[in-house]
């Protein structure tokens, strides 16, 4: 088991719709747009922010020691190995200095975007967790995780966070039922393909649609993937009850639903 902090995060996915916007005069709105495009531009240059990260609470490595050398080698390997298939894992070094790591890109992300995300993640995680032997960071497009423990093939129930849309749906009971139905269906589908990834849609009332995604890291067996996803689905009432969108994101699997299409090609 990885020794990350058991801290559960609750961060919100989207801002509340701002009533201030409708009251803005045109010039203020224009400068707001300008500022927004500047911020977006800056984001493309500097990169996107991680969704969340955990640093291992206890064990640290020594600057420029063998562990760090192995970690650097592993990062260099993963960013080349993962993009062609969307996933990579590897171990470098032996005994106390062994580093195990994996990188996973969201199933729809292109090779280039996958590579960009892993590059960004491997730089950023070293800033966020400079000398921690184990760490994990999540982005919209990828996940990067490493540890001195060999965690391959084990469901990570410890590193997990939620995100949700602040907006409430009008009919929470039937909506919750639908999200569960869609994601459970995808959890069944996902583990039968090699990518351990599934996406799908469900019709809602008033010609609205519900979009869903499930994905596991590919070190898991099919049955563990299913276990991980079912466990994540069972968390939905805690985070996302009656919310327009929600995600349960973990170190071994993640689920997401939205009432808008959120994939690259949808
Ligand atoms: C959604 O419902 C919660 C709980 O009833 C409430 O606190 C919150 O303000 C609502 N959010 C919006 C955006 O109306």
**pLDDT for res 193:** 76
Mean pLDDT value across residues 27-41 = 43
Looking at the DSSP assignment, which residues form a beta bridge with residue 32? none
How much is the pTM? 0.82
Note whether 180 and 84 are same-domain residues.
no
E strands, the chain, are 9-12, 52-55, 87-92, 99-105, 135-138, 142-147, 160-164, 197-203, 209-216, 246-250, 253-258
**pLDDT for res 200:** 95
Looking at the DSSP assignment, which residues form a beta bridge with residue 247? 163, 256
pLDDT digits over 88-117, tens only?
999 999 999 999 999 999 999 999 999 999
- Kindly give the distance from the C-alpha atom of residue 29 to the centroid of ligand 1, in angstroms, as a whole number: 27
Query: Given ligand 1 and candidates 16, 168, 239, which is best to mutate, with the most ligand atoms within 8 Å of its CB?
Result: 168
Q: Is the CB of 166 under 6 A from ligand 1?
A: yes
Note whether 23 and 53 are same-domain residues.
yes
Domain that holds residue 54: 19-147
Protein residue closest via CA to atom 6 of ligand 1: 168
- Kindly give the distance from the C-alpha atom of residue 243 to the centroid of ligand 1, in angstroms, as a whole number: 9
Looking at ligand 1, which atom is closest to the CA of residue 166? Answer: 13
Residues 79, 115: Cα–Cα separation, whole Å: 6
In the chain, the number of structural domains is 2
Domain boundary (79, 114, 147) is at 147
Residues 151, 148: Cα–Cα separation, whole Å: 9
Note whether 78 and 56 are same-domain residues.
yes
Q: State the virtual CA torsion across 104, 110, 113, 118 in degrees, nearest 10.
A: 20
Decide if 200 is inside a domain: yes
SS3 label, residue 21: helix
Decide if 199 is inside a domain: yes
Note whether 203 and 132 are same-domain residues.
no
> Between vectors from CA 198 to CA 196 and to CA 201, what angle results, nearest 5°?
170
């Amino acid at each position: 088991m990885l020794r990350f902090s058991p801290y559960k995060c609750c961060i919100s996915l989207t801002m509340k719709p701002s009533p201030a916007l409708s009251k803005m005069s045109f010039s203020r709105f224009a400068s707001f747009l300008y500022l927004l495009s500047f911020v977006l531009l800056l984001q493309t240059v500097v990169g996107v922010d991680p969704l969340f990260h955990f640093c291992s609470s206890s064990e640290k490595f020594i600057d420029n020691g063998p562990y760090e050398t192995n970690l650097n080698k592993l990062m260099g390997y993963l960013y080349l190995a993962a993009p062609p298939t969307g996933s990579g894992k590897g171990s470098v070094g032996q005994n106390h200095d062994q580093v195990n790591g994996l990188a996973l890109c969201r199933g729809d992300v292109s090779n280039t975007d996958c590579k960009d995300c892993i590059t960004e993640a491997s730089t950023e995680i070293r800033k966020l967790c400079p000398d921690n032997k184990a760490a994990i960071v999540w982005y919209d497009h990828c996940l990067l995780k490493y540890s001195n423990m060999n965690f391959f093939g084990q469901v990570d129930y410890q590193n997990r966070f939620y995100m949700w849309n602040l907006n409430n749906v009008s009919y929470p009971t039937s909506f919750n039922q639908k999200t569960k139905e869609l994601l459970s269906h995808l959890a069944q589908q996902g583990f039968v393909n090699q990518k351990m990834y599934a996406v799908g849609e469900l019709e809602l009332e008033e010609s609205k649609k519900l979009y869903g995604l499930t994905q596991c890291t590919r070190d898991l067996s099919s049955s563990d993937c299913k276990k991980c996803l079912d466990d994540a689905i069972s968390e939905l009432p805690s985070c996302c009850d009656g919310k327009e969108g929600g995600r349960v994101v973990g170190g071994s699997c993640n689920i997401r639903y939205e009432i808008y299409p959120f994939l690259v090609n949808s």
